[in-house]
Structure 1
Amino acid sequence: MLQLVENAKSTPNKIAIVEKDNSFTFQELFDRSKEIATFLLKDKSDLSEAPVAFMVSPGFEYVATQWGIWRAGGIAVPLCIIYPLPSLQYVIEDTGANIILVGEEYEEILKTYKSDPSKTFATVAQITNSKEADLPEIEKSRGAMILYTSGTTSLPKGVLTTHSNIESQISTLVKAWEWSSDDYILEILPLHHVHGIINVLCCALWSGATVEFLNQFSAKEVFNIFLQGKLNVFMAVPTIYFKLIAEWEKLTEEEQNELHQAMSNFRLMISGSAALPVSVMEKWKEISGHYLLERYGMTEIGMAVSNPYNGERRAGHIGQPLPRVELRTVDEEGIEVKAGEPGEIQIKSPSVFKEYWGKPEATAKSFTADGWFKTGDIAVLEDGYYRILGRDSIDIIKSGGYKISALEIEEVLRKYPQIKDCGVVGITNEEWGELVVAALVADEEFDTDQLNIWMRERMPAYKTPRKYIFIPDLPRNAMGKVTKNELKKLF
Structure 2
Amino acid sequence: MDPQPPPDPDPARIDRDELVPPHTGDTILPNSPFFNRLVRYAHRQPPRLAIRDVTLGVEKTYLQLLTDALALRKTLNDTLSPAARKALKNGEDVYVALLAPGGYEYAVAFVAIVALGAAVVPMTVVLPVEEASYFILKANCVGILASSGAISLGTSLTTLVKKKSNTDIFCLPIAPSFRPSPLPASDILVSSSRALDDNAAGVVIFTSGTTGRPKGAVLRRHFVHSFGESIADHYRVGETDVILHVLPVHHATGIGINFVPFLNAGACVEFRSGSFDPAWTWERWKRTDKDGLTFFSGVPTIYMRMMRYYEQTLKRLPEAELREYVDGARRLRALLCGTSALPSPVQKFWTEVLGGRGILTRYGATEFGVGFSVPFERQGAGDVPEGSVGVPMPGVEVKLSEGDEGEVLIKSPHMFSHYLSDPPSTSHSHDPLGFFKSGDIARRVGPYYFITGRASLDIIKSGGYKISALDIEREILGLPYVAEVMVVGVADEEFGQRVAAAVTLREYQSEYVYATGGGRGEGEGKRRLTIEDLRRHLRSKLAGYKLPTLLRVVEGEFPKTASGKVLKKVLGPRYFHAVYRRDPGVQVWDRQEKSRL
CA gap of 1:382–1:395, structure 2 versus 1, over 3 A, is closer
CA 1:134–1:297: 2 relative to 1, 3 Å: closer
Change (3 A) 1:316 1:192: same
Confirm whether residue 164 of structure 1 aligns to residue 222 of structure 2: yes
Residue 375 of structure 1: aligned partner = 438
Matches within 5 A, 1:467-478: 468-469=574-575, 473=579
Displacement after TM superposition at 1:3 (Å): 2.0
Residue number in structure 1 paired with 2:353: 287
Matches of 2:445 and 2:87, distance apart in 1: 50
CA distance in 2, matches of 1:132, 1:237: 38
Aligned residues: 423
Q: Alpha-carbon deviation of 1:102?
A: 1.0
Tell whether 2:395 aligns with 1:324.
yes
Which of 250, 262, 267 does residue 192 from structure 1 map onto?
Answer: 250
Alignment counterpart, residue 133 of structure 2, candidates 72, 75, 89: 89
CA 1:72–1:28 in structure 2 vs 1: closer, same or farther (change >3 Å)? same
1:19 equivalent in alignment to 2:85: no
Q: 2:74 aligns with which of 17, 28, 38?
A: 38
What is aligned with 2:99? 55
Q: 1:36: how far off?
A: 1.6
Offset of residue 307 of structure 1? 1.0
Question: In 2, Cα distance between the equivalents of 1:263 and 1:474?
Answer: 45
Letter in 1 for 2:399: R
Query: Which residue of 289, 304, 310 corresponds with 1:248?
Result: 310
Indicate the larger mover: 250-259 or 131-140: 131-140
| C-alpha distance in 1 between matches for 2:253 and 2:309 | 24
Matched, 1:106 2:150: yes
Q: Which deviates more from structure 2 when the two are superposed, residues 64-73 or residues 308-317?
A: 308-317
Q: In structure 2, how many angstroms separate the alpha carbons of the residues matched to 1:15 and 1:465?
A: 43
Distance in 1, Cα, partners of 2:225 & 2:449: 25
Specify the SS of the correspondent of 2:41.
coil
In the other structure, the counterpart of 1:7 is 37
Deviation string 1:139-167 (CA, Å, 9 cap, x unpaired) is 21110011111457531100001112443
Gaps spanning 5+ residues in structure 2: where?
1-30, 460-468, 474-485, 489-498, 507-558, 582-589
For residues 221-255 of structure 1, what are the alpha-carbon distances to aligned partners after superposition, in whole Å with 9 as ceiling and x for unaligned?
11111121221111111111111111112121332
Letter in 2 for 1:293: L
> If the length of structure 1 is used for normalisation, what is the TM-score?
0.78
| Contact 2:369 2:414 (8 Å CA) reproduced | yes
Task: Give, as a single letter, the amino acid of the residue that structure 2 aligns with 1:309.
Answer: F
Residue 384 of structure 2 aligns to a residue whose secondary structure is coil
Alignment counterpart, residue 299 of structure 1, candidates 361, 366, 377: 366
In structure 2, relative to structure 1, the CA distance for the partners of 1:430 and 1:239 (3 Å cut) is: farther
- Residue 354 of structure 1 aligns to a residue in which SS? strand
For the residue of structure 2 that corresponds to 1:11, the secondary structure is helix
Q: TM-score, normalised to structure 2's length?
A: 0.65
**Which deviates the most, 171-180 or 154-163?**
171-180
Paired residues of 2:96 and 2:142 also in contact (CA < 8 A) = yes
C-alpha separation in 2, matches of 1:210 and 1:490? 56
Q: Does 1:121 align with 2:155?
A: no
- 1:67 is paired with a residue whose SS is helix
- For residues 238-290 of structure 1, give each alpha carbon's deviation from its aligned partner in whole angstroms, at most 9, with x where no partner exists: 11111111111212133221111122222111111122101000111222323
- CA distance in structure 2 between the partners assigned to 1:321 and 1:203 by the alignment: 19
Matched, 1:257 2:323: yes
Counterparts of 2:278 and 2:396, CA distance in 1: 35
Deviation, structure 1 residue 109: 2.6
Aligned to 2:334: 268
Please report the RMSD computed on the Cα atoms of aligned residues, expressed in angstroms. 3.5
Give the deviation of 1:45 after TM superposition.
Answer: 6.9
Matches of 1:180 and 1:380 in 2, distance apart?
34
- In structure 2, how many angstroms separate the alpha carbons of the residues matched to 1:428 and 1:236? 24
Matches within 5 A, 1:380-419: 380-394=443-457
Equivalence for 1:210 = 268
Contact 2:243 2:258 in 1 (8 A): yes
SS of the residue aligned with 1:205?
helix
The corresponding residue for 1:148 is 206
Q: Give the Cα–Cα distance (whole angstroms) in 2 for the partners of residues 363 and 220 of structure 1.
A: 43
User: Is the 2:101–2:124 Cα contact (8 Å) retained in structure 1?
Assistant: no
State yes or no: 1:308 paired with 2:375.
Answer: yes
How far apart, CA to CA, are the structure 2 residues paired with 1:474 and 1:278? 31
SS of alignment partner, residue 109 of structure 1: helix
Question: Is the contact between residue 99 and residue 154 of structure 2 (CA under 8 Å) also seen in structure 1?
Answer: no
Do the aligned partners of 2:241 and 2:268 also contact (CA within 8 Å) in 1?
yes
Shift of 1:60: 1.2
Confirm or deny: 8 A CA contact 1:330 1:346 kept in the other structure.
yes
Displacement of 1:377: 0.8
User: What amino acid maps onto 1:118 in structure 2?
Assistant: D
Q: CA deviation at 1:49?
A: 2.1
Write the distance in 1 (CA, Å) between the matches of 2:407 and 2:572: 30
What is the identity percentage for the equivalent residue pairs of Structure 1 and Structure 2? 26
| Distance change >3 Å, CA 428–CA 306, structure 1 → 2 | farther
**Partner of residue 362 from structure 1, selected from 425, 430, 445:** 425
Conserved in 2, the CA contact under 8 Å of 1:380 and 1:387? yes
C-alpha distance in structure 2 between counterparts of 1:461 and 1:170, whole Å: 24
- Aligned in 2, Cα 1:490/1:238: closer, same or farther, shift over 3 Å? farther
Gapped runs of 5+ residues in structure 1?
332-336, 407-424, 433-454, 476-485
Structure 1 partner of 2:530: none
Q: Hey, what does 1:226 align to over in structure 2?
A: 285
Q: Is the 8 A contact 2:96 2:119 kept in 1?
A: yes
